[in-house]
Amino acid sequence: MITRDAIITVSCGIGRSFEEAARAVAEAKKEKGKNEFNIKVYRGKRLRSKIPESFKQRVQEYYKLAKELSDEQVKILQNFSLRDPVTGLLNKTGFVLQLEELKRNGITEGYYILFDLDDLHDWNSKLGYAEVDRYIELIGKTIKENLRHENLYSSSKRATDVVGHRLNESAGDEFLIFVPAEHNEKNVEKLKIMATRLLEKIYEKQIERKIKN
């Protein structure tokens, strides 16, 4: 029987900004192993994220180029320039682009869910970098395949885009989700359920892979 000790566990942080989610995941890592699903919600003073000007400029360049292309060419451009080639999740430029699109549609509130793989240094030593990379790919694809369109806004303002992103600047072992949602405790509980469901799928897929191998 394959136990949780034999798979790469993941810590999860939830916040109203990326900074809040990162703080929450850092707190979660301090308590890894204590609970079946290691999820923390940021409860401190409000922290805000600011999109770097360089990425805003990339978004504008993308819009300018897309206007000159056919629909089919735009699809090719999106897959080539906005997505991580390994997992199919959005890269940082694609993620910022989607957030800007949501803002254009009047969606300004939401929560960030940050997944951070645990003990990668130890796993690299144990399994080797190539094998760990395969697990990172599996985890990223599992997140992408199990993202659902959630409506956590009131009926008067619907927003059902859940945006996934692989943070390659962190060696690719962190994954970020943005869920459009009004800021309230009821939605926080729903997000914890969403995060738990994704962690369940991540662990199931790892166990399936180990059984096959």
Count of structural domains, the chain: 1
pLDDT top residue among 210 and 133: 133
Is the pLDDT at 39 greater than 80, yes or no?
A: yes
Quick check: is 83 in a domain? no
Question: Would residue 94 count as lying in a domain?
Answer: no
- Predicted pLDDT at 61: 78
In a domain, 70, yes or no: no
Query: pTM, whole model, 2 decimals?
Result: 0.87
Task: Calculate mean pLDDT across residues 53-67.
Answer: 73
CB-based contact 99:174 (threshold 8 Å):
no
| pLDDT computed for residue 137 by the predictor | 93
Q: Domain residues for 29?
A: 4-49+107-212
Calpha distance 166→83 (Å, rounded): 9
Residue 96 corresponds to which tokens in the numbers above?
């910022």
Task: Decide if 59 is inside a domain.
Answer: no
User: Does 154 have pLDDT greater than 70?
Assistant: no
The angle subtended at Cα 185 by Cα 181 and Cα 188, nearest 5°, is: 55
Assigned domain for 60 exists = no
pLDDT for the residue numbered 69 = 76
Amino acid residing at 29: K
Residue 34 lies in a domain: yes
Query: Which single residue is written with the structure tokens 């405790």?
Result: 185
Q: How much of the chain is in helix, strand and coil states, percent to nearest 5?
A: 50, 15, 35
Is 160 among the domain residues? yes
Cα 126 to Cα 25, 131, 175, 188, distances in angstroms: 24, 10, 23, 36
- Under the banding of pLDDT at 50, 70 and 90, the label for residue 163 is confident
